[in-house]
Amino acid sequence: MSKSVSNFLLKRRSVTAKTMLASDVTNEDLDIIISSGLRVPDHGALSPWKIIVFKGKSRETFGKLFLGKRFKELNPSASKDDVIYEEKRFLRAGVVVCVVSSPVPHNKIPIWEMQLSSAAVCQNILLCAQSLGYAAQWITEWYSYDEVITQELTNNNDDRISGFIYIGKKENEPKERIRPELSKVVSYWEKF
Ligand SMILES: Cc1cc2nc3c(=O)[nH]c(=O)nc-3n(C[C@H](O)[C@H](O)[C@H](O)COP(=O)(O)O)c2cc1C
């Protein structure tokens, strides 16, 4: 690994969807970001994932047809402002990329490994967007676990939403956050 990649990894931070600006992502950059996302370890080369992009008007339309509507169904006493907030969730970013884990039936490779590969897609998309200078965050929020939203975005029962990567523009550079000390999570196996 070149020093510049490790320096980037040691410093990179997510910018929350709440604080990013909803500037558009160029088509050229989006192609680079998604291509990086697909370049992940994938046992058996099964491509057990799907990518759904929300860009431009589709962010608002999906919010109105699904996020706001479903939120109101689940919370009948929700205020109008709360429903509008839900409708506008995707408008917090220029682009929202949904990554779906979509396992492929296989007699040797466990579904768990396919789901891990899908998480790697999310992480690669996140890292690539951040490396290009965009604000980006990987989130799930309530709608990743909602059956109606999941049905709209997936094709079969084993499909699960791995996350939504919000990509926009940084207003401010994010501050560092506390990271675990190596000694707390790392051990060297030396039982010999
Ligand atoms: C699978 C997954 C789901 C997440 N869902 C949320 C979420 O719904 N809301 C949230 O605020 N952060 C969520 N996070 C956390 C943020 O993506 C991120 O970890 C946090 O903003 C700090 O990021 P950084 O360590 O990249 O700077 C999730 C992280 C992962 C890995």
Residue 85 placed within a domain: yes
Q: What is the pTM of this model?
A: 0.97
Residue located nearest, by CA, to atom 12 of ligand 1: 139
The best mutation among 137, 144, 177 to test binding of ligand 1, ranked by most ligand atoms within 8 Å of the C-beta, falls on 137
- Rounded to the nearest angstrom, the gap between the alpha carbon of residue 141 and the centroid of all alpha carbons in its chain is 11
CATH code at 141? 3.40.109.10
Ligand 1 proximity of 140 Cβ (cutoff 6 Å): yes
Residue located nearest, by CA, to atom 10 of ligand 1: 139
Give the tens place of pLDDT for each residue, 122-168.
Answer: 999 999 999 999 999 999 999 999 999 999 999 988 999 999 999 99
Do residues 135 and 15 touch, judged by C-beta distance below 8 A? yes
Give the tens place of pLDDT for each residue, 83-125.
Answer: 999 999 999 999 999 999 999 999 999 999 999 999 999 999 9
Domain of 160 in residue numbering reads as: 11-173
User: What is the number of domains present in the chain?
Assistant: 1
Residue 107 placed within a domain: yes
Residue 169 placed within a domain: yes
Atom of ligand 1 minimally distant from the CA of 126: 26
Give the tens place of pLDDT for each residue, 45-89.
Answer: 999 999 999 999 999 999 999 999 999 999 999 999 999 999 999
Residue 33 placed within a domain: yes
Query: Residue 2's pLDDT band (boundaries 50, 70, 90)?
Result: low
Residue 138 placed within a domain: yes
According to DSSP H, which parts of 67-178 are helical?
69-74, 80-87, 111-131, 147-153
- Rounded to the nearest angstrom, the gap between the alpha carbon of residue 188 and the centroid of all alpha carbons in its chain is 32
